[in-house]
Structure 1
Amino acid sequence: MKALVLKSYGGLDKVEFADISRPAINPDEILVQVLAAGLNPIDYMIPKGMFKPIMPLQLPHTVGSDLAGIVVETGSRVTRFKVGDAVFASIFDLPGGSLAEFASVPEYAAALKPANLDFVQAASIPMVGLTSWQALHERMQLRPGQKVFIPAGSGGIGTFAIQLAKHLGATVGTTTSSVNVDLVRSLGADVVVDYKKQHVEQVLQGYDAVLGTIRGDALEKSLAILQPGSKVVSLIGPPDAAFARARGMNFFMKIVFGLLSAKIIRRAKKHDASYSFLFLRPDGRQLAQIGDLLATGGIRPVIDKVFAFDQAKDGLAYLEQGRAKGKVVVQMKQ
């Protein structure tokens, strides 16, 4: 089968198409014919080697994390799916990849595709949906009336997280450029800061939670908007010791990550806030709950561009430019 494969670390130049064997499935897995694959920033970061200490890969490795497609084979212990089912899933941090004609998916990672979404729309959801769910619903435990700051509101995570936060009853502050103000307001953003003209800490105050999505000093600056007892959940690091423990890392790595996160934890404590690092875990049952929200129209996909399978590298390069409004998706077949 055809797949987009990382053969050695070094960036997208080391990613190329190859003919590889169709995956053999285990008893608790399904084999999915991939019809569309959603792209995420981590899909171009991994080839650079940025996650080698956290996610050591066996190369060559098929690129991609999110998919939507049709079940063509089921393992002997699979009970939730049958051949012919339309499904979507994130296989992030698992052995295979989604930018291929077929992918093996653990049963626990998949969910039935919402009937009102096509495969391109469904493929845009898993990573941003699960990340937002695990950050806002699980980790922050957002409640009606609370205020959450979700920067980069027009990006892949932002466009979904804003909608989920509104579903949870929160007031949402976000940042974007002036050209995207109408987009983020249409998704439910209550307060929009034009980052080219305004400083977040001068506009937003009394927030209960911050979702860290932007590298650099943006996370530390956002501490100034928090009220006592607030929560900071970062998707971009630094990783903390709790993350190392959750992944079963050795004592040395726990110390390293503890040191890396010490500064932001200390500064958060000065604002009577807690800090934690979130690393997505695939979860089909959560994805099914997200699917229910999509099926009722409570949340809608936001898609910037769709690339053909043979243009998948162009899609990754476009995403890396950082200007996408919503998600970028690769469509394998019409």
Structure 2
Amino acid sequence: MASASPNAAVASFFFLALLFRASFAQLSETYYDQTCPRLPNIVRASVKKAIQSDIRAGAKLIRLHFHDCFVNGCDGSVLLEDAPGIVSELNSPGNQGIQGLEIVDAIKADVEKECPGIVSCADILAQASKDSVDVQGGPSWRVLYGRRDSRIANKTGADSGLASPFETLDELKAKFAAVGLDTTDLVALSGAHTFGRSRCVFFSHRFANFNGTGSPDPSLDANYRRFLEGVCAAGANTRANFDPVTPDVFDKNYYTNLQVGKGLLQSDQELFSTPGADTIAIVNSFAAREGTFFKEFRKSMINMGNIKPLTGWRGEIRRNCRRVNSNSGLFGGEGEGEGEGHGVM
């Protein structure tokens, strides 16, 4: 039989290369089945331990995952601290006061004991966020794995891409759309504010002269405003519960609070109080039935976790979630470090 032509051989090579690349492009539930099969159990135990000692731990972890995925995709870049060649995203105004790195360190240490050099910090954030939600009463879902960790940070991207508590609905929609998330994702993911706390500096502008009107934010319930003013009398860094009813439980009360003008942040209340907004009907549906909210939250968390992950030979598996590896070869092994996305096969 005649041998294949050079052109056919080249075409075959590129076809195989595309298949190889595609095999790494998809995240998978089974990614660690052979290399770290107990990963979900390890992370869940570590998250439960953290919540037992700090009731805010779950909210801290899910916020880190959100802020990671909205800048350069879900690549662990939010965890990187300042270092030569790296200006940390933690310096961004959008990450002001963000906490929980020590919790991630503890989870990473537990994972490394059993599966050294296998699991990325980005995947740990995804798994820990799921556990943070269902441990505190929320929905569960099957986490997809296979993300790798970035060797760079993007403070400029954090400055422009992270949602702000001072933004209008249109501004929030634009930031979600920029990363491929729609209006339902916006409303569902905002429901993570059903637990956790916020500092007064992020919502006290609603108390008086809101947007230069000389009056308080009209969408903020007057009695709730007076309560918050009392809380914030202790100082701008004082924290208030996002949900004044069940602050440590993941439930649908975030949405019932919006219906009565008790959204803590301006960006929260915008979902319900913006005249004619399409988000109002979504808020009402989530407030009416917790199962509807949970179903959409699961889907939206998976959607968010799929934002531009580094896979295959791109990035690395960081040994320390706050630092890039000093030597970064293919798949996080030893060797000279390559630039982002340029590992050698």
If the TM-score is normalised by the length of the shorter chain, which range does it land in? under 0.3
- Decide which structure has greater strand share: 1
- Decide which structure has greater helix share: 2
Determine which structure has greater relative contact order: mean sequence separation of CA pairs < 8 Å that are 6+ residues apart, divided by chain length: 2
